[in-house]
Each structure stands twice: as C-alpha cells, then as structure tokens.
Homo-oligomer: A and B are copies of this chain.
Amino acid sequence: MATRRETPEGAAKRPPGLAAVTLFGALAEADRAAVERQCRWRLYAAHEQIVDREAETRDVHFVATGTARIMIYTASGREVALDDVEAGGFFGELAAFDGEPRSASVMAVCDSWIAALPATRFLAMLEAHPAVSMEVMRRMSRIIRAATDRIVELSTLGANNRVQAEVLRQALAAGADGDGRAVISPIPIHADIASRVSTTRETVARVLNDLARQGFLSRERAGLVVHDVARLELLVQDLT
C-alpha cells in the first residue's frame, strides 16, 4: 500500500482546492468551501495507485491537478484502459451510488492532487444540490456513450481499424485548424493506445507507420500531426 508522499517541492506545495473541479461550477462559493472541508487531500506521484480495485472504499475522488487513469488489470495480466480523468474531473462515483466493489483501479498518470470525499457526504451533497446531480448524470451519459462506441468497435472492427479510430478520436479532441490539420500533443505512447483499444504495442506501431506512409500523419516536434482530419474520418467511417 502506498503511503503519504512528501511534497516534492517543499511545504509551499499545498492542496489547490476544488475551484478547478467543473462539477462544482453550479455551487455557491460557500457551499463549495463546505464540501472542501469534508475532503481528504493527497498528492499522488506519477504511476502511484489511487484506487485499488480490490479495496473496500467508497470515496468519490476529485482531480484538482494532474490526470488519473481508470484501468482494469485482468487475472491473466492484461491491462484494459477505460478512461483518463483530467484536472477538473472526478471518478469513483459508481461504488458510492450502488455500494458494490470498485469497478476498476485508478492510478496517477503524473503528479496529481486528488481530493477524496466519503460516499455519504457525496450523496448528501447531491440531494441538497440538484444542479450538481444533473452534472453527474451528464458525465455518466458521456461515459455510457463512450463505452457503447467502444463495444461497437470491438464487436465490428479489427485491431488495425480500432487503432485508426483511436487516432481519429485524439485528433478530433485536439481540434482541427483552418486547414483541417490537427496536432496530437504530446505524441501518444504506443502502449497507451494499445490498452485503450485492446491490442498490442506492435500492432499500434505498425498501423501508425502505415498511416504515416500513406500520408495521413507525421511525427513532428509539435506532436503527432494528422494532416487531414476529414480524410482520416472518411477512412474510419468506411469500416463500421
């Protein structure tokens, strides 16, 4: 079990508060401050585990800075990446709602300040603030849609095509400029793409090389450049 980590840059580094957490956007500052006082804060180092799938905890976690990765490690040693929760997001609500064990493990991708709120406090906060419940339900809707897309991809596409679809998703998330060009930065790690679309690093490397050879993308100083997002979109849409 990981222990509390000494702040890496001395005592000046203190919990940053919940101001960046979009879930609380609808709360008055006094209400947010009240939630903040009920949280336990902790700075996690890169790759440190935040939630153990086997653990009996029911806390909901808010990512104030950094990024948390939701992962499943199967008994046979496979890693299935489910989602990255960036600063401003939250995770761990399923166990709070249904009291069942954790659905996944969570680890810090980089140094991350995380606030943990006990399930009972989280649920009481939602009861008192319907606007926050509404935001939780919108977030859960996004999760269900993304999971549905992934199920359809896994059901209908081969591994090569799933890698292409993941590159397209990252290009769309990065946003295209006026020329239809998108820069994915930093350049994605092959192992990360592999665990997101359930294939091997070797397959990811091969597909990215093929896409580069066909002129879809190139590896540049700024990041992985997708030269024509619309053209890549056509390639991927042809498949499902």
Contact = CB atoms under 8 A, between A and B. Distances in A.
A75 B239 CA distance: 8
Nearest to A151: B150
A100 B152 CA distance: 18
B141 A78 contact: no
Interface stretch (A5-13, A27-35, A107-115, A127-135): A127-135
Contact of A100 (B98, B136, B145): B145
Interface string A114-144: 0000000001001100100110111011111
Interface residues of A, number: 41
A141 to B, nearest CB: 4
A176 interface: no
Contacts of A137: 93, 97, 126, 133, 136-137, 140
A207 B235 CA distance: 35
Contact of A134 (B104, B127, B140, B239): B127
Contacts of A185: none
Nearest to A94: B141
Given A76-B239, A147-B151, A154-B154, 10 more contacts: A78-B155, A80-B155, A93-B141, A98-B141, A104-B148, A126-B137, A130-B133, A133-B137, A136-B137, A156-B198
Interface of A: 72, 74-76, 78, 80, 82, 93-94, 97-98, 100, 103-104, 123, 126-127, 130, 133-134, 136-138, 140-145, 147-148, 150-152, 154-156, 198, 237, 239-240
